[in-house]
Amino acid sequence: MSKNNSTSKKERKQRFFAVIAMIIIIAMLASTLIAGLTGCGLQTASYTDYIDRTSFYFDTVINIRIYDQKDESILDGCMELAQKYDSLLSAQTQGSDIWNINHSGGTPVTVDPDTISLLDQSLYYADLTGGAFNPALGSVISLWDFTSDDEKDHTVPDNSAIEEALPHTDYHAITIDNSTNTVTLTDPDVQIDLGAIAKGFIADKIKEYLLSQNVSSAIINLGGNALLVGSKPDNSSFTVGIEKPFSSGDYITTISTTDKSIVTSGVYERYFELDGTIYHHLLDPATGFPVQNDLYSVTIVSDNSADGDALSTACFVLGPEAGMELIESLDGIEAAFVYNNYSVVYSSGFPIN
Annotate 150-200 with DSSP letters as a single string. -GGG--PPPHHHHHHHGGG--GGGEEEETTTTEEEESSTT-B---TTTHHH
Q: Are 50 and 72 in contact (CB under 8 A)?
A: no
Q: Tell me which of 8-17, 75-84, 121-130 is least confident.
A: 8-17
Return the SS3 of 213: coil
pLDDT tops 90 at residue 269: no
**Residue 322: which H helix or E strand, with range?**
helix 320-328
Is the pLDDT at 40 greater than 70? The verdict is no
Helix-strand-coil split of the chain, %, nearest 5: 35, 25, 40
Query: Is 196 marked as a binding-site residue?
Result: yes
* Span 272-288, pLDDT tens digits: 888 788 888 999 999 99
pLDDT of residue 135: 98
Write down the pLDDT at residue 280: 87
Mean pLDDT of 176-191: 97
DSSP type of residue 157: P
Residue 310 annotated as part of some ligand binding site:
no
Quick check: 258 and 238 in contact, CB under 8 A? yes
Q: Tell me the percentage of the chain whose pLDDT exceeds 90.
A: 72
Give the pairing of strands 182-185 and 277-280: unpaired
Residues 6 or more apart whose Cβ sits within 8 Å of residue 264? 224, 225, 242, 243, 297, 298, 299, 300, 312
18 burial class (0-12, 13-18, 19+ CB within 10 angstroms)?
middle
Contact of 288 with 165, CB cutoff 8 Å: yes
Task: Using DSSP, state whether 210 is helix, strand or coil.
Answer: helix
Give the span between the Cα atoms of 229 and 242, in whole angstroms: 18
- Residue 39 is predicted with a pLDDT of 28
The residues with which 217 forms a beta bridge, in sequence order, are: 230
Residue 17 has pLDDT above 70, yes or no: no
The residue count of the chain comes to 353
Rounded to a whole number of angstroms, the CA Rg of the chain reads 20
Contact 179, 321 (CB under 8 A): no
Q: What percent of the chain has pLDDT over 70?
A: 85
Calpha distance 192→139 (Å, rounded): 8
Domains of the chain with bracketed CATH: 9-73+214-346 (3.10.520.10)
Quick one: residue 68, left, alpha or beta (phi over 0 = left, psi -120 to 50 = alpha)?
alpha
Q: What are phi and psi of 122, to 5 degrees?
A: -65, -45
Q: Count CB-CB contacts under 10 A for residue 342.
A: 12
pLDDT (mean) for 328-340: 97
- How confident is the model at residue 29, as a pLDDT? 42
Element housing 19 (H / E): helix 9-38
Average pLDDT of the chain to the nearest whole number: 87
d(CA 284, CA 137): 10
